[in-house]
Amino acid sequence: MERFVFSEKDRRYGRKSENKDIPNSLQLLLFDELENTVEGATEEADKDFSNKEDSQKKTKVRSYIRTKSKNATLTLPANSPVVDIYHDVEKSNCEHCGSELSDVGEFIEDKVTFVPSRYVVVRHHRKQQRCLNCLPDEGTNKIVTASLDESLLGGTICEPSLLAYIITHKMQLGLPLYRLEQKLVFPDKQKISRQLMSSWSLLAYNQLKELEEAFERNINKAIMWNIDETSLINIHSEKKTKLLIEYEKDILKIQEDGFKKKLPEDDIAAMVEEKKFEYLKESPNARNCFMFVRSATNQDGSRGLVMYNYAENRTNDYIKEFIGDYNGIIQSDGLLGYASAAKDKSFTHLGCLIHSRRPAKNILRISPKNKVAKELVDMYDKIFKEEKEIRNAYKEGKYNSDQYVKIRKIILEPLFEKLENWLNERKDNSILSPMMKTAINYPVDRWESLTKFMDYPFADSQNNEAERRIKSFVLGRKAFLFSNTILGANATAFYYSLVESCKALEIDVNTYLTHVLLNAGGAKTEEDGDNLLPMNVNLEATSKYLDKLATASANPKQTESYILRGKKKR
């Protein structure tokens, strides 16, 4: 069995492993000094180190008591506002004798939700049935209860509208879970912890696969994607896990080789420390991952779904795999992976004129009197101004699509020709600064993708649609900072997809999320998933349900406290 010596610094601040049954603990391998040998070391090495055990100074380390979590239980006073929900159930027949089952009672399940400024108890009533002709076998119960929960949160105290409230506040309003923990106030200082909120979110996400696949199918039918990406730290990314496994193998090899060669303990510790330094240097980069966003545009120019996807890199090969067989139009920023993928794929790639102008704008921020940069920015601004005017006229219905494309080309092509000539005249000028060369070479190298938008009435010169969608995630990231697991990152991506799609389609986010969490439990087929898409749902019944919760009042006949119990699921 391994034994390790902790330095004084490690005793105070280091991470201690509680898994003593695993000899090759990943956490223990991060410590500096080794007292005893690992498995596979020779008996001679065992003897060399065993004599030092008695002389070691024993230090008492600080311990702590783990309190048992009570987050799965809430006790609410009898005067709490309550809403009774009675679930209808169709008559069914006994599976043994075929006789019709008779009603013999009801099963009551209490859950909790939160409407603005107050909590509400939601009491579900479900009938219980049994066959009066069949006698129950010894040790069995022939009473059949109607489906306990059609939502995604069966067995928990969380009402779907509560999870919708949590997701809306986190994803749409940028409120992190620790702030929500303070906001969801219950009597006697009871709280719903952020860990429990996270568990509910993951529990629901794991059952939303049909809807997630429906999102992917629908967005692949769109005529155009506006696409962008931003960084995301994932503490337990796949890259970091692989790196840690390789590091552990290297450490074990160093230790085993050192013991076999009977190297001094200090030399082994120095080699381990060097390898540890290499790991600590590479580890932060292994956590650097990305969040992609695609905002769909329909043939008539209307907005479609918005979908986020977690990725561990944005290499050219990954972008090709991510785009897959999509053969529409993709508008992106200047990341070369999209242009590279367009050469091997069947989609059309459009660039972004805003990103093309950005290097010149950066020069003006540093040197406002730079005449060359000012002249370049003015030409870009002239194009944007004329494009905006003609686009507004098109949106007002003054032109049809064909007329819009034709008139836009007549107005913008001379401006682009002037810009192109200006760039070509200066691109080989050797006296220009590196920043100015970048401002000139960027559009020259991407000229076709920057001007091709004029062929399509639903496209424009800018990738602002994707920029707006990725900004929503960036603002939320400032609050929650990072993801802890791959599952958590994927869940975050999909919940952002639901929220931003509702915003794009002008659908109330909280109502839609409540509808999905109430009804997605029965989604088993592709058709079921398609019926849950934001543009396909009828939210009238869900809106009435939320109104009923908002106007809930206490039951005057209730004398005992409501005790809500649920299992913590993940």
Strands 329-331, 288-297: pairing is: unpaired
Cβ–Cβ under 8 Å, residues 159 and 113 = yes
CATH 3.30.420 maps onto the chain at 209-235+288-349+465-536
Whole-number pLDDT of residue 30:
36
- The string of pLDDT tens digits covering residues 502-511 is 999 999 999 9
Average pLDDT across the chain, whole number: 82
How many whole angstroms from its chain centre is CA 68?
Answer: 29
Q: Which helix (H) or strand (E) holds 309?
A: strand 303-311
Residues 76 and 561: their CA atoms lie apart, in Å, by 6
pTM confidence score: 0.80
Tell me what percent of the residues of the chain surpass a pLDDT of 90.
47
- Greatest alpha-carbon pair distance for the chain in Å reads 99
Residues 319 and 520: their CA atoms lie apart, in Å, by 31
CA-CA distances (angstroms) from residue 44 to 48, 175, 415?
Answer: 6, 60, 83
Q: Which residue has the higher pLDDT, 10 or 459?
A: 459
Cβ–Cβ under 8 Å, residues 404 and 331 = no
Of 384, 383, 374, 368, which Cα lies nearest the Cα of 439? Answer: 374
* Lowest-confidence region among 93-107, 206-220, 222-236, 402-416: 93-107
* 3-class secondary structure, 198: helix
For 30-50, b/e burial (b = at least 16 CB within 10 A) is bbbebebbbeebeeebeebbe
pLDDT for 569 beyond 60: no
Query: Alpha-carbon torsion 214, 220, 221, 224, what sign?
Result: positive
Whole-number pLDDT of residue 98:
66
- The string of pLDDT tens digits covering residues 320-370 is 999 999 999 999 998 889 988 988 888 999 999 999 999 999 999 999 989
Of 170, 177, 208, 175, which Cα lies nearest the Cα of 71? Answer: 177
Whole-number pLDDT of residue 28:
37
Cβ–Cβ under 8 Å, residues 105 and 128 = yes
For 34-158, where are the alpha helices, taking DSSP H only?
43-50
pLDDT for 132 beyond 90: no
Q: With bands split at pLDDT 50, 70 and 90, how would you rate the model's confidence at 308?
A: very high
Cβ–Cβ under 8 Å, residues 432 and 363 = no
| The amino acid at 59 | T
Q: What angle do CA 358, 326, 536 make, to 5 degrees?
A: 100
Whole-number pLDDT of residue 137:
58
Whole-number pLDDT of residue 133:
67
Which positions ≥6 away from 375 have C-beta within 8 Å? 422
pLDDT for 234 beyond 60: yes
Cβ–Cβ under 8 Å, residues 197 and 217 = no
How many whole angstroms from its chain centre is CA 156?
Answer: 23
- The string of pLDDT tens digits covering residues 62-108 is 554 554 444 468 888 888 888 888 777 667 767 666 666 666 667 77
| The amino acid at 151 | S
Whole-number pLDDT of residue 245:
87
* Lowest-confidence region among 128-142, 391-405, 554-568: 128-142
Q: Can you give the C-alpha Rg of the chain in angstroms?
A: 31
Cβ–Cβ under 8 Å, residues 272 and 200 = no
Residues 268 and 274: their CA atoms lie apart, in Å, by 10
What is the rounded average pLDDT of the residues 284-289? 87
What is the rounded average pLDDT of the residues 539-568? 88
Helix axes 509-519, 486-504, angle to 10 degrees: 120
Q: Residue 86 phi/psi, 5° resolution?
A: -100, 120
pLDDT for 226 beyond 70: yes
Statement: 209-235+288-349+465-536 belongs to CATH 3.30.420? yes
Q: What angle do CA 312, 173, 237 make, to 5 degrees?
A: 15
Only one residue has tokens 């059309």, namely 348
Strands 224-234, 288-297: pairing is: antiparallel
Whole-number pLDDT of residue 34:
32
| The amino acid at 424 | N
pLDDT for 292 beyond 90: yes
SS3 content of the chain, % helix, strand, coil (to 5): 50, 15, 35
- The string of pLDDT tens digits covering residues 421-475 is 999 998 888 778 899 999 999 999 999 999 999 999 999 999 999 999 999 999 9
pLDDT for 167 beyond 90: yes
Whole-number pLDDT of residue 566:
77
Which positions ≥6 away from 25 have C-beta within 8 Å? 2, 17, 19
CA-CA distances (angstroms) from residue 10 to 5, 16, 18, 111, 283?
Answer: 9, 8, 15, 45, 20
Whole-number pLDDT of residue 3:
43
- The string of pLDDT tens digits covering residues 25-69 is 344 333 333 333 333 433 443 444 344 444 445 555 555 455 444
- The string of pLDDT tens digits covering residues 311-333 is 999 999 999 999 999 999 999 99
Cβ–Cβ under 8 Å, residues 232 and 216 = no
Of 362, 308, 341, 284, which Cα lies nearest the Cα of 477? Answer: 308
- The string of pLDDT tens digits covering residues 527-551 is 999 999 999 999 999 999 999 999 9
pLDDT for 276 beyond 80: yes
Two structure tokens written together for 202: 């993951």
| 3-class DSSP string for 138-174 | CCCCCCEECCCCCCCCCCCCECHHHHHHHHHHHHHCC
Two structure tokens written together for 168: 């809306």
Whole-number pLDDT of residue 154:
81
CA-CA distances (angstroms) from residue 233 to 17, 83, 365?
Answer: 24, 42, 30
Which positions ≥6 away from 425 have C-beta within 8 Å? none
Whole-number pLDDT of residue 59:
54
Residues 102 and 89: their CA atoms lie apart, in Å, by 12
Two structure tokens written together for 19: 């898994």
Of 73, 83, 68, 87, which Cα lies nearest the Cα of 157? Answer: 73
What is the rounded average pLDDT of the residues 240-246? 87
Residues 407 and 413: their CA atoms lie apart, in Å, by 10
Two structure tokens written together for 484: 């802890």
Q: With bands split at pLDDT 50, 70 and 90, how would you rate the model's confidence at 248?
A: confident
